[in-house]
Structure 1
Amino acid sequence: MTLPASLDRPLLDEAAGRLIRPYTVSGGRTRPTAELDLLSLVMATGSTPRTPLGPEHAHALALCPGPTSVAELSAHLRLPAQVTKVLLADLLDCGAITARAPRPPDTPTDRSLLEAVLDGLRRRL
């Protein structure tokens, strides 16, 4: 999906700043309908949303052809993380993206994997 030139950057005025306020982008909503962490990875599914969504939704969708974190999308969209989560939850609800939660901190790490990484680093240094 290619973006029109007008979506390559947020609508900005040099003196006034952003022309569309973040709460307008999310329709005034402050809570997403899905649990998304800043480290959650989202990815476009390739299916087109059935309901018409705003240009920010299209921009967010175009930015995640591969796994991309919510934090990274927020930075690219130049929107607060909470607003980005609302947009992504809308896309998740209509099946346009999938989301995967980050690995829980209490999940044990595979020791053999860590040893292989350490061994590889030692060989390179």
Structure 2
Amino acid sequence: MMPPDGPSPDFWAEDPPRPPAPPEPDAAERWLDEGAGPMVRPYVMTSGRTEPSRGTFDLITLVVAVGVEPDTTIGLGPEHLAIIRLCQTVMSVAEITGHLDLPVATVRVMLGDLLDKGFVSLQEPEPEADMHDIRIYKAVIDGLRAL
């Protein structure tokens, strides 16, 4: 058996030169979005909370503001005030989420805050019909037979 050949001369050669990395954007470019201001993460808006303090807030739950828009000195963030402005007319949680371009969980937490402070009122969707009632099944079967 022959000893293995030594490494090729290319093995010891230096790595080929790499292209230069793109310049790092300065801090202002990295954290600002075309006039939108500094980027704030959703968990900062909710102080790390992931569940509302009360209420379930399905996507079809209807929300309406109660009274006039509060003064900003009461400790509400700009997103809270935006929700109150949007809800001057009845609006669903899904619509609010779309208008604010925020995650649903974040909007739910903020709606819980506003509900706790009495700034919004909501109407939960009606529960589904009782599917254990045999009369419903009989009515469906009778309707199908009539076709």
Q: Is the TM-score greater than 0.5?
A: yes
Gaps of 5+ in 2: 1-30, 131-147
Which amino acid is the alignment partner of residue 57 of structure 2? L
Q: RMSD in angstroms over aligned alpha carbons?
A: 2.6
**1:41 pairs with one of 62, 75, 96:** 62
Which amino acid is the alignment partner of residue 20 of structure 1? V
Shift in Å at residue 74 of structure 1? 0.6
| Structure of higher CA gyration radius | 2
Structure 1 consecutive aligned stretches of length 4 or more whose deviation exceeds 3 Å? 47-51
- In terms of fraction of residues, the more strand-rich structure is 1
**1:53 pairs with one of 76, 82, 86:** 76
User: How high is the sequence identity, in percent, across the aligned residues?
Assistant: 43
Q: Indicate yes or no: 2:119 matched with 1:99.
A: no
Which amino acid is the alignment partner of residue 53 of structure 1? L
- TM-score, length of structure 1 as denominator length: 0.68
- TM-score, length of structure 2 as denominator length: 0.58
Determine helix, strand or coil for the equivalent of 2:122.
Answer: strand
**1:21 pairs with one of 22, 27, 41:** 41
Distance 2:32 2:45 in 1: 14
Shift in Å at residue 39 of structure 1? 0.7
Distance 1:12 1:97 in 2: 32
Distance 2:112 2:92 in 1: 13
Which amino acid is the alignment partner of residue 58 of structure 2? D
**1:85 pairs with one of 97, 108, 116:** 108
1:64 maps to 87
Count of residue pairs the alignment pairs up: 96
| Highest RCO, 1 vs 2 (Cα 8 Å, sep ≥ 6) | 1
Q: Deviations over 1:30-72 (max 9, x none)?
A: 0101221111001000153783211110011100112110011
Distance 1:52 1:31 in 2: 19
Q: Deviations over 1:56-107 (max 9, x none)?
A: 1001110011211001101111101010000011000000000110121217
